[in-house]
Amino acid sequence: MRYDVVIIGGGLSALVCGTRLQRSGKSVLLVSSGQNAMHFSSGSFGFLGRLPDGSAPDDLIDSVINLPEVHPYRKIGPERLRTYAGQTIGFFESAGILLHGDPTHNSYRMTASGICKPAWLAMEDVSLFAPGETPSGGKALVVTLKGFTDFNVPFISSAFTKMGYACRCVEVEMEEIARLRKNPTEMRSVNIARVLEGQQALDRFISGVRGKLKDEDTVVLPQVFGLKDTSPLAAIRSRLPAHVHFVGTMIPSVPGIRSQMCLKSAFQAAGGTFLPGDTAVRAGFDSTGRVSSVYTANLGNTPLEAGEFILASGGLWGKGLEASYDSVKEPLFSLDVDSPRERKEWYDSDFFRRQAFTGFGVVTDESLRALKGGKTVSNLRVIGAECGGANPLEEGSGAGIAIMSAFMAADSILGRI
Amino acid sequence: MIHNEHIRSSNFEECIKCTICTEFCPVIEVNPLFPGPKQAGPDGERFRLKNSFFFDENLKYCMNCKRCETACPSGVKIADIIHSARMDYGTVTPHLRERILAGTDMMGTLARPFAPVVNAVAGSKAGKFMMDKVLRIDRRRSFPKYAAHGFNRWFRKEKAALQDRFASQVAFFHGCSTEFQHPEVGKAFVEVMNAIGVGVRLMDEKCCGVAMISNAMWPEARKNAVHNLAEFRKTGLPIVTASSTCTLTLRDEYPNILGLRNDDLRDNIVIVEKFLYDMVDEGKVKLVFRQDYKAKAAYHIPCHMEKLGWSIFTRRLLEMIPGLDLTVLESGCCGIAGTYGFKKENYSYAQAIGQPLFDAIRAEDPGFVVSECETCKWQIEMSTGYKVLNPIVLLSEALDLEKTRMANEK
Ligand SMILES: Cc1cc2nc3c(=O)[nH]c(=O)nc-3n(C[C@H](O)[C@H](O)[C@H](O)COP(=O)(O)OP(=O)(O)OC[C@H]3O[C@@H](n4cnc5c(N)ncnc54)[C@H](O)[C@@H]3O)c2cc1C
Ligand code: SF4
Ligand code: SF4
């Protein structure tokens, strides 16, 4: 089975890259084992949350020079990064995902436990706050659903209090939601979102909040609306006589899941082929060391052939790398991995300190082509969390790297670089 | 025991509690009694292993569509865990209704001689009323019609003697619906295979057992499985099927639920669309299509084809037909899940699950729908009025069989 490009992975980087290629006339196949990091994301994208010395970056693109030379951002280079950062909002809009934020500067988002973290761009139900937002003096009603524990109301209201709001916390009680409690593990953001997808349930919720509103000018809600599309968000915004902030819940992430589904639909609408629930298990190389084919668990002996291959398998977390006691390997192509030889250098025994293993990835050349035994594999590019030289968790750069490297790999295959 | 062996292979402890499976389960969306894949599967398993008291009979609402497994990021075999638990802890024994619905081959054999009568009764108001009241088979459901003459009889009479002249051969696992309700599927299969120069053998097959598995008839399911596996080993030929559900059952449910090993055969069991595509892709076979063929079709990917990951073969194959305007429908469950939707207590859930698909078909307004699954066919035809063709039937109509035969003559 032949395509122009075969991509291994189905996360943010794979879908962005695949859609860009397919829209430019390439035939693209994407094979994806399971779901991916978007399902657990905050609903906001990080580009560069902090610099290696711990300080906060100002202009994001100018700050990249402070990163080590092996970092994918350094390989993409500031000029291209600026162009790509400028294209990001438009690209996502074309897939039906509205992002907001400043493409070259960080704002802040609030986590489920009321902590403010740097964020680059965010989905429409993730409120962003300007750095050091000045006390507004407003009044906020912090609302949760009775029985929902993945949204920490005391912490969130204290965070809003610090921002200068006078907060009042209330619970909305709904019979449909209470029913979820029958199974204690099902009281999660996505289950609630599914219930509130129903028009009647949503109406009841909105009137519930209206009934509790006194003189507040701001309402703070958990991100449990709009699993399939954003229409519940619009309904809430238009029918509550107050400014509405949506704040993160514990995982899974409703905006993340919705956006992943939008991206997948955009890829398929462009004509791309998506193989869900299948795993690339082995690869074939030709005599010059180029990848010639990939075999998957489901397709068995039918090879997937292509001129270009892209590895977007998500690093250790996505199973794009495999760790054993004494080594870290890239299982599909046996590519070079940038993990230190000594196991004790992989991690810090203090869990909350910088962990080296969260940054392990495949070693690539200047144009993100993979290295195998020190030699470049000329038709295999590595993107997203699988790409070495960075530590997305530490840097707060996960989505930025995924999107920037995806654009760059697509452009280089299209001969634009 | 089977169960212990199963746990090791299904890894319920690999669940990372992300609830993504729940997001993809069509049942939990419409039926509040069903605990959902995560709770019914890996979460419940932890408790059940401690004490069978935690077994919940509502696990029976799982349709075994496997959409949860396709979505799980950790590869947990959720539906296998659910059905193994039903097998190990379930106390409800199958009643007459379950035996009637699941006994696809026995019932077919009994019904066929009286096909016109059975069809008329099953289709009549009075018959439906009786089935509804006595058997709790929902009266709103239309029954697939029994064909008066089976596929086997046609094959023996018309085709069996002609098969020896082909150098390469396959064994055709035709399944119950081809034998009893849709012999045209089997006929198309034989015509197409013969046209590309491949001979067809039939085996002494028994129902794959899928309906027995979902109706908790475990000993019967195992007996059929043991018999079929022995037949497969005896022929030594590639086992080619025309139904996605039979295929998944033979390949995956035998080892994963019934605990019967088939590693030696697994790669040899394929659905005809994959078989054909591979032959064409490897350049071993040429397909010549009719110039005057024109049709507009919508492809509905059955759940089990999705789980097999093979819809791509059907799609690529159908895309070769010059006169076919093909749309692939958004993948979603039709709601019937074999015998599930026939039961009175499931009828309204089944229709609610299938609603988005029915709407999509109506919006598309194709000449007909294509699908590899016979129960999807019944459900879609009953609920939308659009005709549903098995892809092999469509292929046999679109191919110029004579020119294909000539192109493949050695
Ligand atoms: C829990 C978590 C939360 C995060 N939250 C954020 C956030 O809020 N903001 C942010 O900016 N970044 C976040 N990140 C960082 C994240 O890494 C990036 O944002 C980005 O989503 C990574 O995308 P990716 O495509 O590189 O990898 P992934 O999303 O991990 O996707 C990898 C895909 O490859 C598939 N795969 C792997 N091997 C194979 C194979 N052999 N065959 C077929 N498929 C295969 C996997 O199944 C998976 O679908 C988070 C990361 C994690 C782990
Ligand atoms: S999708 Fe898989 S890992 Fe996630 S909760 Fe369900 S079974 Fe567990
Ligand atoms: S097999 Fe289908 S019905 Fe059963 S739990 Fe999984 S998704 Fe739900």
Q: Provide the residue ranges of all domains of chain A, joining segments of one domain with +.
A: 2-104+257-413, 127-247
User: Which of the two residues, B229 and B379, has the higher pLDDT score?
Assistant: B229
User: Which of the two residues, A227 and B398, has the higher pLDDT score?
Assistant: B398
B positions 233-272 inside 8 Å of A (CB): 267
Contact B37, B19 (CB under 8 A): no
* Any ligand 2 atom below 6 A from CB of B67: no
Q: How far apart are CA B243 and CA B305, in angstroms?
A: 9
**What are the tokens at B9?**
């292979």
Prior bond of B73 cis (ω within 30°): no
Q: Which of B228, B207, B196, B236 is nearest to B392 (CA)?
A: B196
CB-CB neighbors (< 8 A) of B307 in chain A: 277
Task: Report pLDDT for A79.
Answer: 97
Q: Label residue B117 by pLDDT band (50, 70, 90).
A: low
Q: Check if A175 contacts B (Cβ < 8 Å).
A: no
Nearest by CB to residue B312, choosing from A182, A191, A273, is A273
List the CATH code of the domain at B5-89. Answer: 1.10.1060.10
Across-strand partners of A245?
A: A220
**What are the tokens at B195?**
């046209």
Contact A79, A85 (CB under 8 A): no
B63 three-class SS: coil
The H helix count followed by the E strand count for chain B is 26, 8
Contact B382, B141 (CB under 8 A): yes
Rg for chain B (alpha carbons), in Å?
21
For B195-232, letters b (16+ CB in 10 Å) and e give bbbbbbebbebbbbbbbbbbbbbbebbbebbebbbebb
Contact A22, A408 (CB under 8 A): no
Contact A47, A84 (CB under 8 A): no
What is the phi/psi pair of residue A167, to 5°? -105, 145
Q: How far apart are CA A122 and CA B45, in angstroms?
A: 38
Contact B321, B391 (CB under 8 A): no
Q: Which of B319, B316, B328 is nearest to B371 (CA)?
A: B328
Dist. CA A53 → ligand 1 center (Å): 26
B positions 3-32 inside 8 Å of A (CB): 17-20, 22-23, 29, 32
**What are the tokens at A230?**
């954003």
* Any ligand 2 atom below 6 A from CB of B17: yes
Cross-chain residue pair B71–A35, CB shorter than 8 Å: yes
Q: What is the mean pLDDT of residues B179-190?
A: 94
Contact A38, A123 (CB under 8 A): no
Count other Cβ atoms within 10 Å, centred on residue B261: 11
CB-CB neighbors (< 8 A) of B17 in chain A: 185
Cross-chain residue pair B18–A273, CB shorter than 8 Å: no
Topology of the domain covering A127-247: Rossmann fold (3.40.50)
User: Which of the two residues, B234 and A113, has the higher pLDDT score?
Assistant: B234
pLDDT along chain A (417 residues), means of 10: 97 98 98 86 94 94 96 98 98 97 95 91 93 74 93 93 93 88 75 89 96 95 93 96 92 90 94 92 97 96 96 93 92 94 80 79 97 97 97 95 98 94
**What are the tokens at B14?**
């690999």
Is domain B295-401 annotated with CATH 3.40.50? yes
Q: Label residue B113 by pLDDT band (50, 70, 90).
A: low
Topology of the domain covering A2-104+257-413: FAD/NAD(P)-binding domain (3.50.50)
**Measuring from atom 39 of ligand 1, which residue has the nearest CA?**
A313
Dist. CA A272 → ligand 1 center (Å): 20
Contact A27, A241 (CB under 8 A): no
Across-strand partners of A337?
A: A362
| Nearest chain B alpha carbon to A177 | B32
What is the phi/psi pair of residue A148, to 5°? -90, 120
Q: Label residue B233 by pLDDT band (50, 70, 90).
A: very high
B350 contacts: CB under 8 Å, gap ≥ 6: B335, B336, B337, B340, B341, B379
The least confident of A52-66, B26-40, B296-310 is B26-40
Dist. CA B290 → ligand 1 center (Å): 46
Cross-chain residue pair B32–A33, CB shorter than 8 Å: no
Cross-chain residue pair B36–A276, CB shorter than 8 Å: no
Length of chain B: 410
Contact A367, A75 (CB under 8 A): yes
CB-CB neighbors (< 8 A) of A226 in chain B: none
Domain with CATH 1.10.1060.10 in chain B: 5-89
- Indicate which of B46, B306, B312, B313 best probes the interface with A, i.e. most A CBs within 10 Å of its own CB: B312
**Measuring from atom 2 of ligand 2, which residue has the nearest CA?**
B72
The least confident of A7-16, B26-35, B75-84, B282-291 is B26-35
Dist. CA A273 → ligand 2 center (Å): 25
User: Mean pLDDT score of chain B, rounded to an integer?
Assistant: 86
**Measuring from atom 2 of ligand 3, which residue has the nearest CA?**
B65
Contact A204, A219 (CB under 8 A): no
Task: Report pLDDT for B149.
Answer: 76
Across-strand partners of A305?
A: A2, A293
Helices (H), A64-124: 72-76, 78-94
Q: Check if A364 contacts B (Cβ < 8 Å).
A: no
**Which residue in this structure is represented by tokens 């000539």?**
B406
The least confident of A393-397, B50-54, B270-274, B338-342 is B338-342
Q: What is the pTM of this model?
A: 0.89
B positions 315-334 inside 8 Å of A (CB): 316
Environment class of A135 (CB within 10 Å of its CB; exposed 0-12, middle 13-18, buried 19+): exposed
Crossing angle of helices A199-212 and A231-239, rounded to 10°? 30
**What are the tokens at A377?**
């594999």
| Nearest chain B alpha carbon to A319 | B74
**Which residue in this structure is represented by tokens 């079929």?**
B228
Nearest by CB to residue A190, choosing from B19, B274, B309, is B19
